[in-house]
């Protein structure tokens, strides 16, 4: 193949379809985003084990191109779902995927964690937390998640299994509770509840 044509092919959007919770989703992605050609194992484990209520207001924290948030939006049709990421390219592709999947109860916003969310509160917050963000940022995100949940609201996180004990310790400290929802070989899904 002509090198120029090959480079032009690399610049085109990556398009693929995935089944999540038994339903098809169409995705557009690009190189430089996390897991650009397929929904990653951790995100799949998370969506398979989250409990989503039809009227939940949801937040996908660190959404990438949006697979977790799109599932929440479809399964909470009477609520509103917000997807946030600090990467403007991720937000651009989340917006494309919201349109691609015809989800009118969903929006994507550029935000470094919770910094641009003001006083918004949620019933469900979910995040596929990267292993390399650092423990300090993880603590900030957990504390901010607690502050942005309504009473009875749930935080679901998926992390590499090596962070399981850290998450147990810190979710217990911030929320007063911890539930290991599912432990796989590589990833663990945990949940904490805002009880007040």
pLDDT, one tens digit per residue, over 166-185 is: 999 999 999 999 999 999 88
Does residue 77 surpass a pLDDT of 90? Answer: yes
What's the rounded Cα separation, in Å, for the pair 61 and 85? 7
Q: Which domains does the chain have, with CATH numbers?
A: 3-193 (3.40.50.150)
Among 164, 165, 130, 150, residue whose Cα is nearest residue 59: 150
* pTM, 2 dp: 0.94
CA distance 18 to 16: 7
Predicted local distance difference test score (pLDDT) of residue 1 = 63
| pLDDT at site 8 | 63
pLDDT per position as a tens digit, 29-58: 999 999 999 999 999 999 999 999 999 999
163: which residues sit within 8 A by CB, 6+ positions away?
129, 131, 188
What residue spans of the chain are helical by DSSP H?
A: 3-11, 41-49, 67-75, 88-100, 135-148, 164-175
pLDDT band at 132 (very low <50, low <70, confident <90, very high): confident
Residue 6 has pLDDT above 60, yes or no: no
Average pLDDT score, the chain: 94
* pLDDT at residue 7, as a whole number: 59
Quickly state the pLDDT bin for 4 (edges 50, 70, 90). low
């Amino acid at each position: 193949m002509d090198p120029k044509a090959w480079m032009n092919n690399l610049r085109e959007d990556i398009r693929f379809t995935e089944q999540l919770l038994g339903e098809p989703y169409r995705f557009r992605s690009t190189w430089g985003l996390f897991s650009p050609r397929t929904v990653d194992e951790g995100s799949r484990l998370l969506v398979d084990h989250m409990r989503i209520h039809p009227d939940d207001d949801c937040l996908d924290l660190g959404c990438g191109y949006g697979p977790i948030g799109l599932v929440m939006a479809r399964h909470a049709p009477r609520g509103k779902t917000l997807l946030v990421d600090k990467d403007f390219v991720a937000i651009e592709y989340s917006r494309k995927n919201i349109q691609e999947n015809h989800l009118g109860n969903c929006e994507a916003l550029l935000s470094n964690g919770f910094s641009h969310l003001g006083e918004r509160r949620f019933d469900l917050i979910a995040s596929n937390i990267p292993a390399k963000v650092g423990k300090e940022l993880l603590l900030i995100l957990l504390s901010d998640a607690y502050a942005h949940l309504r009473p009875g609201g749930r935080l679901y996180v998926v992390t590499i299994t090596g962070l399981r004990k850290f998450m147990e310790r810190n979710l217990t400290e911030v929320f007063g509770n911890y539930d290991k929802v599912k432990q796989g070989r590589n990833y663990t899904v945990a949940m904490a509840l805002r009880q007040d």
